[in-house]
Each structure stands twice: as structure tokens, then as C-alpha cells.
A = this chain, B = another copy of it.
Amino acid sequence: MSSLRESAAVEAPVADAESRLHHDDHDALRLWLRLFACTSLIERSIRTQLRESFAMTLPRFDLMAQLERAPQGLKMSELSRRLMVTGGNVTGLTDQLVSEGLVVRKRVAGDRRAQAVSLTREGRKVFRKMAEAHERWIVALMAGLSPGERDRLYALLGRLKRGVAAMASQESS
């Protein structure tokens, strides 16, 4: 460690995922860092707008979005799986939404230990409002692309996704 130079830290002008590229990096790596940067920028904008317009966090919004699609309710285990978070996190998010009257827990018929979670009537109303705003924000964020470009991007990402899913299933087998 004695070989380290004692010099001042340097400030860089740019600061997103793409900023760590070297000139000779493979084009696949450049593509990944750009994909990641786009996703992060959009996600950050959505987080900010959800907080400012609805005092809502993204994980709670995502949880409500899953429930909105499942009018009969979802078991906690299924909700964890769909949100790809641990059971403890889902419990915490659900507790918050229950305390705000947006979500309700109920017993599952025929299973004493399992609980299902659903939106309340109020939760459904609140979610619909947020979802409308969310869609407007996304439309605005994507407005730099023409409809044709959006179609092409959608198709290319579909091919990428199939490739990644095929790779991932190889890994786990």
C-alpha cells in the first residue's frame, strides 16, 4: 500500500453508468451501460414524481399495481415472487398500505395460515389516479422517440430479453 500516491482527488464532469467506460471496451458492455443508464434515469424521474405528486414510494406503487391486476387478492408469497423482493420487505410495505387504508389483509378460504392481500375500494381509487399520472410521465419521458423508433426499440428489446432469458435458464440448469 506504500506505493499509493498522495494526490488530490479528481472531479469528473459526467456521472452516470456510462461514465466508467474505457475506449477499448467491448460494444456489448457499452450497450449494457447505456441500457442501465436509461433505466436508471427513467426510474429516478418516476420516483421523484410519485413522491412529489402523491407522497408515494415506487415499491408501494409497484405493490399496488400487482394487486390491481388481481381483484381476488394475492398471497404474500406470490406478491413477494412477483415483486422479486423478500417476504420481510413485502410485509413492511403491506403494513404501511394497510395503515393508510389502501390495502387489506384477509384469510384465504381453506388455508388457516395463509393471508391474501387486496386493494380496498379507496386503494383502487387512489391507484387509478396514480396510474394515469404514471402513464402520462412515461409517455412524456419517451417523447424523444418517434412512434416508429419506439416500435423498433420494443422489438429489439424483445429479442434481447429472449436471449437473456435463455442464458439465465442455462445458468440455473
Within 8 A of B (CB), among A1-50: 1, 3-12, 15-16, 19-20, 22, 25-32, 34-45, 48-49
Give the distance to chain B from A107, nearest Cβ to Cβ, in Å: 8
Q: Is A116 an interface residue (CB 8 A)?
A: yes
Contact A8 B108 (CB under 8 A): yes
Please indicate the chain B residues that have their CB under 8 angstroms from the CB of A69 in the complex. Answer: 19-20, 22
Please report the C-alpha to C-alpha distance between residue A128 and residue B16 in the assembled complex, in whole angstroms: 21
Contacts of A144 in B (CB 8 A): 159-160, 162-164, 166-167
Q: Is A89's beta carbon under 8 Å from chain B?
A: no
Q: What sequence of 0s and 1s flags, for each residue 86-105 of chain A, a beta carbon within 8 Å of any chain B beta carbon?
A: 00000000000000010010
Chain B: minimal CB distance from A19 (Å): 7
- Looking across the interface, which residue of chain B has its beta carbon closest to that of A83? B15
**What residues of B have a CB within 8 angstroms of the CB of A39 in the complex?**
35-36, 39
In the bound complex, do residue A10 and residue B167 qualify as a contact, i.e. CB atoms below 8 Å apart? Answer: no
> Which residue from chain B places its CB closest to the CB of A153 in the assembled complex?
B156
Say yes or no: is A55 at the interface (Cβ < 8 Å to chain B): no
User: Can you show 8 pairs from A to B with CB atoms below 8 A apart?
Assistant: A7-B72, A7-B73, A39-B39, A45-B164, A45-B171, A145-B160, A149-B159, A153-B153
Known: A8-B109, A27-B150. 15 other contacts (CB 8 A): A3-B121, A4-B120, A8-B72, A8-B116, A9-B116, A22-B69, A26-B139, A29-B138, A32-B142, A34-B158, A35-B35, A36-B43, A45-B171, A140-B167, A144-B163
